[in-house]
Chains A and B, each alone.
Chain A
Amino acid sequence: DQQVKQNSPSLSVQEGRISILNCDYTNSMFDYFLWYKKYPAEGPTFLISISSIKDKNEDGRFTVFLNKSAKHLSLHIVPSQPGDSAVYFCAASARARTASKLTFGTGTRLQVTL
Chain B
Amino acid sequence: DSGVTQTPKHLITATGQRVTLRCSPRSGDLSVYWYQQSLDQGLQFLIQYYNGEERAKGNILERFSAQQFPDLHSELNLSSLELGDSALYFCASSANPTGSEQYFGPGTRLTVT
Contacts and interface: CB of A to CB of B under 8 A. Distances in A.
Interface of A: 4, 32, 34, 36, 41-46, 49, 89, 91, 93, 95-107
Contact of A45 (B2, B42, B56, B94): B2
B2 A106 contact: no
Interface size class of B (residues with CB under 8 A): 20 to 34
Nearest to A4: B42
A43 B42 contact: no
Given A4-B42, A101-B56, A107-B42, A32 B2 contact: no
Contacts of A41: 106
A100 B97 contact: yes
Given A105-B42, A106-B40, A100 B90 contact: no
A105 B37 CA distance: 11
Contacts of B4: 43
Interface string B21-50: 000000000010101000011111100101
A32 B104 CA distance: 18
A99 B55 contact: yes
Contacts of B35: 102, 104
Given A89-B42, A104-B42, A107-B42, A43 B106 contact: yes
Most buried by A among B41, B55, B58, B100: B100
B98 A98 contact: yes
Contact of B56 (A32, A100, A105, A107): A100
A43 B33 CA distance: 13
Contact of B97 (A34, A46, A99): A99
Nearest to A2: B42
For the complex of A and B, 9 pairs with smallest distance between CB atoms? A43-B104, A99-B56, A104-B42, A99-B55, A106-B42, A93-B100, A104-B43, A101-B45, A32-B100
A100 B43 contact: no
A44 B102 CA distance: 9
A18 B35 CA distance: 31
B107 A46 contact: no
A13 to B, nearest CB: 22
